[in-house]
Structure 1
Amino acid sequence: MDANNPQAIRRAIRSGQHKGNTSGLARGFVQANLAILPSDWAADFLLFCQLNPKPCPLVGVASNPGDFQIDSLGADLDIRTDVPRYRVFENGECVNEVEDIQALWRDDLVTFALGCSFSFEEALLADGLEIRNITEGVNVPMYRTNIACKPAGRFSGDMVVSMRPMKPADAIRAIQICSRFPSVHGAPVHFGDPAAIGIQNIDAPDFGDAVSIRDGEVPVFWACGVTPQVVLEQSRPPFCITHSPGHMLVTDLPNSKLSVF
């Protein structure tokens, strides 16, 4: 597998050759979180994303219910097969994790693709900042918080954040860099005391893996595309599908297209 070629990566995922998380793959290209909902829930979810652009930055939406391609995100792209692992929800509860959703596909499903923090990680690395989860070869740690999202229709809930430890000066630089990427969560929402945003144990993430935090470092928190999964748990649509945290849709869209300057 060519780890820098989005189409080759999707083919490897589709064939079962690659089953792990997608962090560090397809440098230079956008990776997307997924939320797949019945059409009668889609309008409310679209409004929720529009009102909460930091945790839910839209980078693509299927043109019609039942479409399993989003042409703007890549050639030979199949939403049903090209994510390493999916989560299946019924009435707000995750009932299964699968590697292929062809057997679950329905003509009324609408796919939403949301920007992912892996894009801004590349910009931070290019500036010489370390990304601990990449250094340690694990999935980024993610946490539920007490930061309320703006409600929209049937959707409401609290934000999920991802965390990367940094020295305070590096955290300030990260804020400056990530402000250029509003389509992939933008600047951090918090750094410092985790308890201030409702995180009681920084060593026990709700999603992903724990990473080491060294002396002199502070945890830096970004809005995270796993937020819709928590919102879906609370809003309880009868059926929906998401990506499994860290297992993204690799697109053909260059990260450079998302920078505002």
Structure 2
Amino acid sequence: MRNFKIVLQYEGTRYKGWQKQGKGEGDSSSSASPENTIQGKLERLLSRIAGKPVEIQGSGRTDAGVHAYGQVANFHMDTDDTPEALMEKINSYLPEDIGVISVEEVPERFHSRLNAKSKTYRYRVLNSAVPHIFERRYVYQVPEHLDMEAMRRAAILLTGSHDFKAFTSAKKGKKSTVRTVDSIQIDRVGDEIHFTFSGNGFLYHMVRILMGTLLEVGTGAKKPEDMTAILESGSRECAGPLVPACGLALMEVRYS
């Protein structure tokens, strides 16, 4: 059985996220049938190619509506195809909003999630009162003036190893909520502001709640120095709102 690692891109607008789910799991708005998830769609396609069931593992979940420029996944399959031929075959069946950009054969024990060392996400904010019609699926529009320096000072306080319990929507559990955020970079690009988050892992909704909190700092609703107290509180109510998924994209997953 050969093990294949793929890198794929997708526009998440019409999907219920990466992971196929049973009723009551994940997104509370509905149960995500396999047909409406990236994982489910890929597994059906790969199973058709292989002639028997194939399971695929992603580097991590992306929420409903979140995009990916560099999601990584792996699957085991018996095939005589070269990686190049397999990629061509997969892409010939995929819809236009999902595409595999690389395929390589990897050692048997490689696991896209367990072996991942760090990830980078980017959130795009359209900081203008004028809408960008053709970018509306990929940006969150915030017309108010945003204080870039205040947000950067807040971002510094959020980097490093912390308990990010206040920055997740996940229900209380036994799993650790300590994560290491290596950097939060904030750049103005025309009338957009790009927030780039890199770290060893992110909790459920963590990037989108960090974003909501940083935007509150940008508008003056919170102060940069409030970040320390929010982290120490461990309370979701102390952090900012959950911003829409449309502005978020998984950019890269890194391995040793």
- Which structure exhibits the higher relative contact order, with contacts defined as CA atoms closer than 8 Å and separated by 6 or more residues? 1
TM-score by length of 1: 0.28
TM-score by length of 2: 0.28
Larger C-alpha radius of gyration, 1 or 2? 2
Higher percent of residues as strand: 2
